[in-house]
Amino acid sequence: MLRISALALAAAPLALTAAFMPAPAIAQAQTGLAQVQAHLRAVNTMTASFTQTDRRGRAMNGTLTIKRPGKIRFDYGRSANMLVVGDGRALTFVDYDVRQVQRWPINDSPLSVLLNPEQDLSRFARVVRNDAQVLVIEARDSRRREFGTITLAFAKIASGPSGLILQGWNTIDAQNNRTQVRLSNQRFNVPVADSVFRWTDPRRRGPRG
């Protein structure tokens, strides 16, 4: 079911496997992580279109909205009658077809790398590619198996915040479910209302925040 891949995204490498390279020099790795950290801190909000693909090649499309710290929304539109929403504290998976709601602490998801720009990436992330066009990092918290692994790819574009534009990511969760997300139409630091991250609880009437 396509819903399983969305669930893996909430709970948890861009065909990046071929892009991996031998471990870069320590100085280059530090520079790459510092650039990603600067990018995350420079982006207060981001909107984008996304295509999400599971390990069986099944795809869903939608819109992504991020507002730091901690807020994120995957709206699948007509692809599926569901949402993944982060309200700053927890990630919530809402399936309106079966009236199901599940929640996880944001810090237990690999998406926390994107949502908390104050984290020290050097504690749990490493650079796997850093050249003139692309910067790729892999993050994994060995102390928390439920965190899984996330591999983020950034294009080096001078007009992007700190010279980077997030192109997408892959996640592998603790159950080895792989999810790929590719982004397009990225926009940074545009006005985003907090109401975007509210949702209607299918188990009862009324919005939740």
- What is the C-alpha separation between 202 and 180, in angstroms, rounded? 27
Token representation of residue 29 = 């790795």
- What is the C-alpha separation between 187 and 190, in angstroms, rounded? 7
- What is the C-alpha separation between 95 and 1, in angstroms, rounded? 12
pLDDT single digits (tens) 52-78: 998 888 899 999 999 998 999 999 987
Query: Could you give the angle at the alpha carbon of 170 between the alpha carbons of 169 and 173, nearest 5°?
Result: 135
On average, the pLDDT of the chain sits at 83
Q: Is the pLDDT of residue 42 over 80?
A: yes
> Taking a C-beta distance cutoff of 8 angstroms, is the pair 101, 201 a contact?
yes
Q: What is the DSSP letter of 67?
A: E
pLDDT single digits (tens) 161-188: 999 999 999 988 777 788 999 999 999 9
Render the burial of 3-27: b for 16+ CB within 10 Å, e for the rest. bebbbbbbbbbbebeeeeeeebeee
Please name each of the domains of the chain with its CATH number.
Answer: 2-184 (2.50.20.10)
Cα–Cα distances in Å, from 197 out to 25, 35, 38, 91, 207?
41, 28, 25, 10, 10
Query: Across residues 122-129, what is the average pLDDT?
Result: 90
- What is the C-alpha separation between 163 and 133, in angstroms, rounded? 11
pLDDT single digits (tens) 145-165: 666 789 999 999 999 999 999
- The pLDDT, as a whole number, for residue 178 is 87
Sole residue written with tokens 């909205």: 65
